[in-house]
Structure 1
């Protein structure tokens, strides 16, 4: 079966700096599968934020912040979500999924201002 693995133990980013979240895939090829990224803010429902298709196109809501940049690294079969210049409002659990229902555990992004 296909498995997705997120960064364990969360990720700490400094406000105003980039954060890079990784999601590695087993038993399938990242270059042949669209990836769907979701975000769950504290106390809220999980929401879809973007899809990165196999042609490298980013599909998202018009109101999704342009600071979210998806990519994939074929050499280690990993999906990447980069948030440029994070703010405290980016603190959430980020989750990657393929095929709609095969998902990673999710990575909690914490933001520090120090």
Structure 2
């Protein structure tokens, strides 16, 4: 009976390991900007300095450049840091950003009270 328990636990451990490996390596299949290595499921949340997040983001921009990738949970976020990069992305190449969806967290936090509303696709 004890051998059966050990085998079951070993099998569960292997399945859990394969699941975490699949989730963690999934984000690295695409060509993404550089960024800190995320943890499975948690992403970079343990690395974030919640008391001074702007300084933390400035340090990441110094290390990885003005365009970098961070993960909040399993959600990938491409950060644009600095006026020149934002101007190039939103004005010079703005057509690529026009029809992007508003993330659900913004809808929850702002509760529709933002003066910036997403553009409606025609």
Greater CA radius of gyration, 1 or 2? 2
**Higher helix content, 1 or 2:** 2
**Higher strand content, 1 or 2:** 1
TM-score by length of 1: 0.24
TM-score by length of 2: 0.23
